[in-house]
């Protein structure tokens, strides 16, 4: 029984518990961790995109001062079983992951040799002296080529370079399209990106020879996944592998997969008997960390005369690079493009075909939004194109087509089911936040002055907080659908919550405390949260796919309630009342209506340290600890509408994003500060996706954008003021009413900005079908439009 008069922490702008440590330079990221006698690794990487590895001349390198050894695939690959991401999808072709290249390289940046030395400086000196002979093979640099028969499969045993393919079908799209009053279509292209977390990947492995136990400190979002993979790879019991994700400096999906370097340092630590550390530099990050968003979508939308959606067809080609990443598989992103393309709309006829193809580029992996940014870009551009054709306001065409309250739950063309999230409320919320009417008037004025001013909308829905009945990739080797929480009070009254998640900036240490504090009746500072350590919990995966609040939050609610009952039982006994008369407020356990009270420390001490305090038949169930697991089964629908205003200088073609409004629904908000922060950060990356960032490979598979000078991420002046509105349509089906969030900025903002640019250029008849819209691309579009007018 919780006092309803006590102000709740859930919903409050609680300052983060994590901050004082991080603000004072007391963070502990993997590269900060110092173990005696640590050896350092520099990796020699392939400079060929596709080649057979010939002779490796390392004699001069081995002789360099401070060098302990130089290792190739022949030395290390056979020491483990190569992790392979499996999938139940038909025609799926798997690719094994080896720590170093296995006789053949398939992307520039693939690790070939590991130089182990006393310092990173010395290791790099030696790496510069290694000569590798390559026998070049034909390079597949375009997804279209990978999908054709013109190139041999790049993996042994494969029939083609199509790693996975699938069709989605609902209704009769061809027939419905034929009856459409208006049809709009295009070939859309979203180019390749990389997440660029501020902390480069870093791994430190230590092998205890006495206990035969491997500990890996990893800059990872998924310590549980890594630990299970390592146990399998080394064929050892899980108790002999510990993976710890300490402070992790951002991930955005780039740290959600198993990397060859994690395998490598683990093998080397076991082999050499000393701790082994490898920290990626930024050049390596830009060329060997997983990449994303490389999608080509040819799509058509048919609508009736009132603008209602009749049919949607799409052909999706996803360039997933040289490997099917572990554990997500190559299916992850391309399937989600198809899965989410129908959007938050009523649409009965859908046909999509998807191919995920291997090219000689770094492996594709998750990046914030996964397939949803491309899906949203395509459908929202089509919506605007259809609106333009019919002379409709883009707000109205969306309003008219949203799934309505009485239509939920609604199954969309790909089989995904939306529960009742605030689609329409999001649109209206964003319209109000940006002041749409005034903004339209501003646009009129600007146009009268010859300025290129545009407004763009993007509405999306996504599935978050996935339970066990929803798989991001059916048959992939991990369970993403459950979380477990263990909460305990010790003999001093200290509360410790152990969770299977792995916070890397989202403030879960604080939001989970808010949940537990509210349930238990204590303050956030009374609770310690342990996360990111596979030794602390029986099983875990980590933090990814906007799941932690729903799943770990749900488990925390349940565990805290169960713990509270135990505290009440013990205290009731101690105070000679019934458990139902016990309340906990501000850490004090009280018998309501009396002045009898105990501190949590007194209760804890009584249970654990006072011999014979409780009768034996009570004591068995009285351990002040509770473990609960939570599975939301399906998951939650989250949604948002973004509205962007842009102005383009007609002469220089520089695009300025003047304002963005976002109205988002993530269900019940635990901490508005943190939700705002996630929206802001996602939108900033979305601006990068829309205007600045692009991984560029030439036809030989050489990465041309291999520094932060060329891979351009937004800095403060590139991000405009943002208005954020929280819709808070409480999720009926989840514990706590939460919906997952965090990825929306990269989903909605690129589409909204692309639409705004198209609006600004509407008078020139230019459509926007490719992102990023760089100044050079705009220049070409204008030149082409001029030429066709001539």
Partner 1 sequence: MHRQFRHGEQNVKPPPFSYVRAESVEHAVTLLRQHDGEAKLLAGGQSLMPMLNFRLLAPEVLIDISRLDALRRIEETAGGLTIGAGVRHRQLLESPIVAERFPLLGEAMTHVAHLAIRNRGTIGGSISHADPAAELPMMMVLLDAVIDVTGPDGVRQVEAAEFFEAALTTCLEEDEMVTAIHLPWLPAGAGTAFTEIARRHGDFALAGAGAVIAGGDVRIAVMGVHDTPLRVAAAEEIIAGNGSIDDAVAAVREAIEPNDDLQASADYRRHLAGVLVGRVIRLAMERRA
Partner 2 sequence: MTGKITICLKVNGRTYERLAEPRILLSDFLRHEINRTGTHVGCEHGVCGACTVLIDGESVRSCLTLAVQAEDTEVTTVEGLGEVDDLNLLQRKFREHHALQCGFCTPGMLMTATDILSRRQRLTEAELRDALSGNICRCTGYEHIVRAVAEALEETLGGQA
Q: Is the bond preceding 342 in cis, omega lying within 30 degrees of 0?
A: no
* 213-218 and 241-244 strand pairing: parallel
Between 631 and 676, whose beta carbon lies closer to partner 2?
676
Q: Which residues bind partner 2 (CB under 8 A)?
A: 15-16, 18-29, 31-32, 34, 121, 195-200, 247-250, 252, 281-282, 504-507, 673-674, 676-677, 679-685, 707-709, 713, 715-717, 719, 721-722, 745
CB of 775 to partner 1, least distance (A): 7
Residue 45 interacting entry, from partner 2, partner 1, none, C-beta within 5 to 8 Å by type: partner 1
Residue 735 interacting entry, from partner 1, partner 2, none, C-beta within 5 to 8 Å by type: none
* 597-599 and 625-630 strand pairing: unpaired
Residue 703 interacting entry, from partner 1, partner 2, none, C-beta within 5 to 8 Å by type: partner 1
Between 120 and 158, whose beta carbon lies closer to partner 2?
120
Token couple for 322 = 């040289």
* CB neighbour class for 132 (10 Å; exposed up to 12, middle 13-18, buried from 19): buried
Residue 19 interacting entry, from partner 2, partner 1, none, C-beta within 5 to 8 Å by type: partner 2
CB of 437 to partner 1, least distance (A): 32
CB of 505 to partner 2, least distance (A): 3
CB of 264 to partner 1, least distance (A): 16
CB of 275 to partner 1, least distance (A): 20
Between 5 and 716, whose beta carbon lies closer to partner 2?
716
Instruction: State the Rg of the chain over Cα.
Output: 28
Token couple for 526 = 């009374």
CB of 503 to partner 2, least distance (A): 9
715 binds partner 1 (CB under 8 A): yes
CB of 707 to partner 1, least distance (A): 6
Residue 652 interacting entry, from partner 1, partner 2, none, C-beta within 5 to 8 Å by type: partner 1
Between 236 and 283, whose beta carbon lies closer to partner 1?
283
Among 283, 446, 491, 530, binds partner 1 (CB under 8 A): 283
Token couple for 370 = 């996964």
Residue 705 interacting entry, from partner 1, partner 2, none, C-beta within 5 to 8 Å by type: partner 1
CA-nearest of 240, 162, 216, 249 to 503 is 249
The footprint of partner 1 on this chain (CB under 8 A) covers a number of residues equal to: 43
Number of neighbours of residue 727 by Cβ within 10 angstroms: 24
CA distance 550 to 548: 6
Between 178 and 696, whose beta carbon lies closer to partner 1?
696
Token couple for 595 = 């002045």
DSSP H/E element including 169: strand 162-170
* CB neighbour class for 78 (10 Å; exposed up to 12, middle 13-18, buried from 19): exposed
Between 287 and 678, whose beta carbon lies closer to partner 1?
287
Token couple for 428 = 């209206």
CA distance 360 to 382: 31
Token couple for 455 = 């407004």
* 770-771 and 182-190 strand pairing: parallel
CB of 66 to partner 1, least distance (A): 12
Residue 776 interacting entry, from partner 2, partner 1, none, C-beta within 5 to 8 Å by type: partner 1
Residue 504 interacting entry, from partner 1, partner 2, none, C-beta within 5 to 8 Å by type: partner 2
SS3 166: strand
Residue 197 interacting entry, from partner 2, partner 1, none, C-beta within 5 to 8 Å by type: partner 2
CA-nearest of 300, 462, 464 to 385 is 300
Residue 124 interacting entry, from partner 1, partner 2, none, C-beta within 5 to 8 Å by type: partner 1
* 452-464 and 527-530 strand pairing: unpaired
- Per CB under 8 A, contacts with partner 1 among 222-281 are 281
- Per CB under 8 A, contacts with partner 1 among 102-161 are 108-109, 120-121, 124-125, 127-130, 132
Between 47 and 432, whose beta carbon lies closer to partner 1?
47
Distance of CA 79 to the CA centre of its chain: 31
User: What residues does 116 pair with on adjacent strands?
Assistant: 41, 69
Between 28 and 156, whose beta carbon lies closer to partner 2?
28
- Per CB under 8 A, contacts with partner 1 among 646-685 are 651-652, 654
* 350-357 and 417-418 strand pairing: unpaired
CA-nearest of 676, 729, 672, 694 to 461 is 729
* CB neighbour class for 203 (10 Å; exposed up to 12, middle 13-18, buried from 19): buried
**Residue 712, φ and ψ in degrees, nearest 5:** -95, 110
45 binds partner 1 (CB under 8 A): yes
**DSSP per-residue letters across 576-593:** TS-GGGEEEETTEEEETT
Site residues, partner 1 (CB under 8 A): 42, 44-45, 47, 108-109, 120-121, 124-125, 127-130, 132, 281-284, 287, 651-652, 654, 692, 696, 702-707, 709-710, 712, 714-715, 717-718, 774-776, 779, 783
């Amino acid at each position: 029984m919780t006092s309803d008069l006590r102000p709740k922490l859930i919903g409050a702008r609680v300052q983060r518990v994590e901050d004082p440590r991080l603000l004072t330079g007391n963070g502990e990221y993997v590269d900060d961790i110092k173990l005696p006698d640590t050896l350092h690794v520099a990796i020699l990487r392939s400079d060929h995109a596709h080649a057979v590895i010939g002779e490796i001349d390392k004699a001069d390198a081995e002789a360099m001062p401070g060098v302990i050894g130089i290792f190739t695939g022949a030395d290390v690959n056979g020491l483990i079983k190569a992790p392979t991401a499996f999938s139940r999808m038909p025609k799926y072709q798997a690719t094994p992951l080896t720590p170093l290249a296995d006789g053949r390289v398939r992307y520039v940046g693939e690790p070939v040799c590991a130089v182990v030395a006393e310092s990173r400086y010395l290791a790099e000196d030696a790496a510069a002296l290694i000569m590798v002979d390559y026998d070049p093979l034909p390079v597949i640099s375009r997804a279209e080529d990978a999908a054709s028969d013109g190139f041999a499969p790049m993996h042994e045993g494969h029939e083609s370079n199509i790693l996975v393919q699938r069709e989605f079908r609902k209704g009769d799209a061809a027939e419905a399209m034929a009856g459409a009053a208006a049809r709009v279509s295009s070939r859309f292209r979203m180019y390749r990106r990389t997440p660029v977390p501020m902390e480069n990947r870093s791994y430190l492995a230590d092998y205890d020879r006495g206990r035969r136990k491997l500990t890996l400190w990893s800059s990872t979002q998924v310590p549980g996944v890594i630990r299970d993979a390592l146990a399998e790879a080394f064929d050892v019991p899980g108790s002999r592998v510990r993976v710890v994700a300490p402070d992790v400096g951002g991930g955005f999906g780039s740290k959600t997969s198993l990397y060859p370097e994690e395998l490598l340092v683990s093998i080397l630590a076991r082999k050499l008997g000393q701790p082994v550390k490898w920290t990626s530099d930024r050049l390596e990050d830009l060329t060997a960390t997983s990449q994303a968003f490389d999608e080509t979508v040819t799509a058509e939308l048919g609508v009736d005369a009132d603008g209602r959606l009749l049919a949607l067809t799409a052909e999706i080609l996803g360039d997933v690079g040289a490997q099917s990443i572990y554990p997500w598989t190559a299916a992850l992103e391309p399937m989600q493009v198809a899965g989410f393309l129908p959007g938050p709309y009523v649409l009965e006829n859908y046909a999509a075909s998807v191919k995920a193809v291997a090219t000689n580029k770094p492996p594709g992996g998750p990046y914030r939004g996964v397939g949803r940014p491309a899906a949203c870009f395509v459908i929202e551009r089509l919506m605007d194109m259809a609106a333009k054709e019919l002379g409709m306001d883009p707000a109205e065409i969306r309003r008219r087509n949203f799934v309505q309250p009485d239509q939920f739950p609604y199954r969309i063309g790909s089989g995904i089911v939306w529960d009742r999230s605030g689609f329409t409320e999001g649109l209206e919320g964003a319209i109000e936040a940006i002041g749409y009417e005034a903004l339209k008037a501003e646009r009129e004025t600007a146009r009268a002055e010859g300025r290129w001013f545009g407004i763009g909308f993007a509405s999306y829905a996504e599935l978050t907080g996935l339970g066990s009945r929803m798989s991001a990739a059916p048959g992939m080797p991990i369970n993403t659908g459950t979380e477990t929480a263990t909460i305990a009070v010790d003999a001093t009254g200290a509360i410790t919550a152990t969770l299977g998640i792995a916070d890397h900036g989202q403030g879960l240490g604080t939001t989970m405390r808010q949940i537990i504090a509210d349930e238990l009746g204590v303050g956030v500072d009374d609770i310690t949260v342990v996360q990111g350590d596979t030794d602390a919990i029986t099983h875990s995966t980590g933090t990814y796919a906007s799941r932690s609040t729903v799943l770990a939050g749900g488990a925390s609610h349940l565990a805290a309630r169960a713990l509270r009952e135990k505290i009440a039982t013990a205290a009731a006994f101690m105070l000679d009342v019934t458990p139902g008369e016990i309340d906990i407020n501000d850490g004090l356990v009280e018998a309501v209506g009396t002045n009898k009270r105990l501190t949590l420390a007194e209760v804890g001490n009584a249970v654990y340290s006072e011999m014979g305090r409780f009768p034996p038949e009570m004591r068995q169930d009285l351990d002040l600890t509770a473990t609960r697991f939570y599975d939301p089964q399906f998951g939650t629908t989250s949604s948002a509408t973004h509205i962007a205003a842009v102005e383009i200088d007609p002469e220089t073609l520089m695009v300025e994003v003047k304002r963005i409004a976002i109205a988002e629904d993530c269900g019940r908000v635990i901490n508005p500060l943190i939700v705002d922060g996630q929206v802001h950060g996602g939108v900033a990356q979305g601006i990068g996706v829309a205007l600045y960032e692009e991984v560029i490979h030439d036809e030989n598979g050489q990465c041309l954008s291999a520094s932060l000078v060329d891979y351009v991420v937004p800095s403060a002046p590139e991000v405009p003021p943002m208005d954020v509105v929280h819709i808070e349509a409480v999720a009926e089906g989840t514990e706590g009413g939460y919906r997952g969030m965090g990825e929306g900025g990269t989903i909605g903002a690129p589409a909204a900005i692309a639409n705004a640019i198209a609006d600004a250029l509407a008078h020139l008849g230019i459509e926007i079908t490719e992102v990023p819209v760089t100044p050079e691309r705009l220049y070409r579009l204008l030149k082409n439009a001029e030429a066709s007018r001539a």
